[in-house]
Amino acid sequence: MTNVKLAVVFYSMGGTNYQLAKWAEEGAKEAGAEVKVLKVQELAPDSVIQGNEGWKATVEATKNVPVATSEDLEWADAIIFSVPTRFGNISSQMKQFLDIQGGLWATGKTVNKVVSAMTSAQNPHGGQEATLLSLYTSMMHWGAIIVPPGFTDPSVMVAGGNPYGTSVTVDQNGKMIEDVEGAVKHQAKRTVTVAEWVKKGHQ
């Protein structure tokens, strides 16, 4: 059997979700997956980005990361999304990326994709769970197989105990408050494991 193909698709303004994506890549590779780390297209005007030092730094840091496409989703057996919360919902950049996948969805190419998600916000009750649930709602329409971490490893509790997906609080200086690296890597490995089960079932 070929290795599980995993797409880690993120949107990051301050760098947090880019870091989560890189940790997910590490965990998935440890589990034997072939991984692509991909960003979604930035929609904000450059004039706004240039006025925010953190945002500008993230754009620079991710300039060589490929932009995610429908072809990447079709390639993938599994997808991990990492996205900041915006008023309890996913960012407009990620929403637009999902919204333009109608062609894949209509041809049945989103069915049985194994999916999990992560998020961040500036306070512990800033909408992390709602953001993950809103993304998972779209995945139900896709016919995807959602793989939340639940409480399947002690690292989940260390990271704050979010069973929907790893979430992290980011302070005003852009620093992560909770220790989530272990939880991200566990979530990635769990996603790859379930994708292996699904892949074996198809053969």
Read off the pLDDT of each residue in 145-165 and give the average, rounded to a whole number: 97
- Percentage of residues in the chain with pLDDT exceeding 70? 99
The whole-angstrom separation of Cα 177 and Cα 46 is 29
The whole-angstrom separation of Cα 45 and Cα 110 is 31
Cα dihedral sign, 118-123-125-127: negative
Contact yes or no for 39/67 (Cβ under 8 A): yes
Answer whether residue 14 shows pLDDT above 60. Answer: yes
Distances, alpha carbon 53 to alpha carbons 10, 50, 105, 175, in Å: 20, 7, 38, 15
Contact yes or no for 122/172 (Cβ under 8 A): yes
Answer whether residue 203 shows pLDDT above 70. Answer: no
Answer whether residue 48 shows pLDDT above 80. Answer: yes
> Which carries the bigger pLDDT value, residue 172 or residue 190?
190
Answer whether residue 4 shows pLDDT above 70. Answer: yes
Q: Looking at residue 109, what is its pLDDT?
A: 97
Contact yes or no for 117/108 (Cβ under 8 A): no
Answer whether residue 202 shows pLDDT above 70. Answer: no
Average pLDDT, the chain: 96
Read off the pLDDT of each residue in 148-168 and give the average, rounded to a whole number: 97
CATH class belonging to 5-202: alpha beta
Read off the pLDDT of each residue in 47-63 and give the average, rounded to a whole number: 94
- Beta bridge mates, 138: none
Q: Looking at residue 118, what is its pLDDT?
A: 98
The whole-angstrom separation of Cα 130 and Cα 125 is 10
Angle between helix 92-99 and helix 128-142 axes, rounded to 10 deg: 10
Strand pairing category for 89-90 and 145-146: unpaired
pLDDT tier at 2 (50, 70, 90 boundaries)? confident
If DSSP codes are grouped into helix, strand and coil, which group holds residue 176? strand
* Dihedral, CA of residue 155, residue 157, residue 158 and residue 161, to nearest 10: 110
Read off the pLDDT of each residue in 47-67 and give the average, rounded to a whole number: 94
Q: What are the residue boundaries of the structural domains of the chain, listed by start?
A: 5-202
pLDDT (tens digit per residue) in 69-116? 999 999 999 999 999 999 999 999 999 999 999 999 999 999 999 999
Strand pairing category for 5-10 and 34-39: parallel
Q: Which of 186, 196, 202 is nearest to 118 (CA)?
A: 186
Q: HSE on the CB side for 63, CA within 13 Å?
A: 6
pLDDT tier at 15 (50, 70, 90 boundaries)? very high
pLDDT tier at 58 (50, 70, 90 boundaries)? very high
The whole-angstrom separation of Cα 76 and Cα 86 is 27
